Amino acid sequence: MKKLSIKKLMAVVIVGVFGMTAVGCGSSSNGEGKDKLTQIKENGKLVVGMSADYAPYEYHALIDGEDKIIGFDVDIAQAIADDIGVELELKEMNFDALCESVQLGKIDMTISGMTPKPDRKKAVDFSDIYYKAEQAFLVQASNKDKYKTLADLEGKKIGAQMGSIQADIAEGIKDSNVKLLADVNTLILELKNGNIDALIVEAPVANLAVTANTDLAVGEEIVEDSEGGSAIGMPKDSPELVAQVNSTLKKLADEGKIDEFVQKAVEQVKNQVE
């Protein structure tokens, strides 16, 4: 990813989201008869894949002059690594490559706002749901009275992230002309430049996007997440790893840590804008 100045970065982004998918996934082997959790412990690190263009989940920010990936998914990944007793390594990639990368063993898991759709469950095993969000759409502020509901977008040019839940919503709108791209930040630019009429993203992403981009507005209609929310994707047939991850997620939820992580991520985004 090309590095941007913080002003340019935050003027374009403050997004990323939520409902990612992967296709064309093959099978993988744990190798040497060892379960995946044991392999991670022996390797001494947990390799987590994510697409860092999706604030507040995960996004690039300048921290003490250094370009880093931060967000509440990163905090969750760190908590899992800590509980396993290994270091955390983040690998950035496109949303539609995450599932396949898990299966090919390029990453140990993906924590990137991924919704456990039935087709994805055939490819990877999922943790329990760790975060639920609604779907929303962005429009140019000058069109906020024109495009209030999804019905208002019929026959319009609609953007969405490739392979996402939002792409399914966009393609379900009557006579829509859907533009799918891998990077949400690029889609934000497409909307700002008038190349698309609306952009469907998760509600938290939309709300942060308008914080940094005053020329954008959030549509009035909110779509419930019928798929259940976000979960962590792991290799098939890795019950020990799934159990470990679910244990950490339960502990974080019981202690209110996930809510803290989300709030911290939102505040970090707002502070970078300021």
pLDDT of residue 62: 87
pLDDT tens digit sequence for 107-126: 999 999 999 988 899 999 99
pLDDT of residue 10: 45
Superfamily of segment(s) 6-132+229-273:
Periplasmic binding protein-like II (3.40.190.10)
Mean per-residue pLDDT for 242-254? Answer: 98
Give DSSP secondary structure letters for 19-61: -B---S-------TT--HHHHHHHHTEEEEEE-SEETTTEEEE
pLDDT of residue 225: 66
Mean pLDDT of the chain: 87
**Predicted TM-score (pTM) of this structure:** 0.76
pLDDT tens digit sequence for 217-228: 999 998 876 667
Domain boundaries, the chain: 6-132+229-273, 135-218
CATH fold of 135-218, please?
D-Maltodextrin-Binding Protein; domain 2 (3.40.190)
pLDDT tens digit sequence for 69-109: 999 999 999 999 999 999 999 999 999 899 999 999 999 99
Top pLDDT among 26 and 274 is at 274
Mean per-residue pLDDT for 3-30? Answer: 40
pLDDT of residue 32: 61
3-state secondary structure of 70: strand
What percent of the chain has a predicted confidence (pLDDT) above 90?
Answer: 71
Q: Which two tokens stand for residue 228?
A: 């259940």
Helical H segments across the chain, by residue range = 6-12, 36-43, 72-84, 98-103, 118-121, 165-171, 184-192, 203-212, 239-254, 257-273
